[in-house]
Amino acid sequence: MEVEDGAELCFPQLNTSCRKPTFHGTDVLFLHIGLYFVSVLTVALNLLIIISISYFRQLHTNTNTLLLSLAVSDFLVGLVVMPGEILRQTGCWFLGDLMCSLYAYLSFIIAATSIGNMVLISIDRYAAICDPLHYPTRVTERRVKFCVCLCWLGSFFYNSLFFKDDLTEPGRYNSCYGQCVFVISYIAGIVDLVMTFITPVTVIIVLYMRVFVVAVSQARAMRSHITAVTLQRSVTRTTMKSELKAARTLGVLVAVFLICFCPYYCVSLAGDTSVSGSSAAFVLYLFYFNSCLNPLIYALFYPWFRKTVKLIVTLQILQPGSREANVL
């Protein structure tokens, strides 16, 4: 962020006001327009996911409950986190010190919840593929909803430990009015790195490696020549194919998640002084861009999402009995 000596103050009536950032060139203008466009797109796409899974009864499954929780966190990223980060990085913060602390607190809650949702999705696929016989009894609707609530509440209380001082003393790290800065101590940063990155990513990778091995062996078994095929076995094979397809789709979702999240935490691990400001901003926006990519993955791999979007956009969901529509 470049600031000229003659730049205007964010709050002219205050001597301790920050100066308004001054940018040069049209490239920066297009960059800002692009960032806000991604923010609006993220909100719109994830809102379609939320409406689809919440409205249509055929989509009320345990796996989709986890996808719904992920879509809610992605929706909040586009609605709150992205616009706030663009304002914080490229303009004056006019919302006050308390809103700055609340914004930082909410940002970390949403990020931690997204990671928790990815862990739950990995556990769900592991149970469905590696232990299919006990999956219906172990992964029940009640347990899934309990885990989702626990994920959100756990993220809320976990981040309260890091931001309790900022919330009680807002603006403690701001050097002038119109600035929004939040700082986490070195020890707290290491703990957060282990709790919200190293441990969850390790769990996700280990579970999906196991899922991949089992999925390959089952795919080979289904391709093998079987002379006598009963109706029950045919149904079992159809169900297994559906589970394997879901595992592949969610595997892509997890892979994209890791690609977007890993650079941010690697920069955090390396320290702020080891990278330039533009590089740090890039990995941060890549971190948030994952929330826009998730619905695009659904649109690419899930036919039901394309069908529900068509029903929503054409307002067919307003018709009586549309909740029972066949979207699968």
Rounded to an integer, what is the distance from CA 183 to the centroid of its chain?
22
| Helices then strands, each counted (H, E), the chain | 11, 0
More confident residue, 232 or 286: 286
Helix (H, G, I), strand (E, B) or coil at 194: helix
Q: pLDDT value at position 232?
A: 46
> What pLDDT is stored for residue 183 in this prediction?
78
Torsion of CA 219, 225, 226, 232, to 10 degrees: 30
pLDDT for 198 equals 87
Average pLDDT over residues 294-317: 87
* pLDDT of the residue at 283: 82
Average pLDDT, the chain: 81
- Alpha carbon of residue 285 to chain centroid: 12
Q: Smallest Cα–Cα separation from 264: which of 281, 283, 285?
A: 283
The confidence score (pLDDT) of residue 50 equals 95
Separation between Cα atoms, residue 51 and residue 48, nearest integer Å:
5
Full set of structural domains in the chain with CATH:
26-219+232-324 (1.20.1070.10)
pLDDT tier for residue 277 given thresholds of 50, 70 and 90:
low
Query: What pLDDT score was predicted for residue 172?
Result: 79
Q: Return all residues near 199 (Cβ < 8 A) that are at least 6 apart.
A: none
Q: What are the Cα distances from residue 20, in Å, to 23, 243, 276?
A: 10, 54, 21
Instruction: Give Rg (Cα) of the chain.
Output: 23
Note the pLDDT tens digit of each residue in 161-218: 888 888 888 877 788 888 888 777 778 878 888 888 889 889 988 888 888 788 777 6
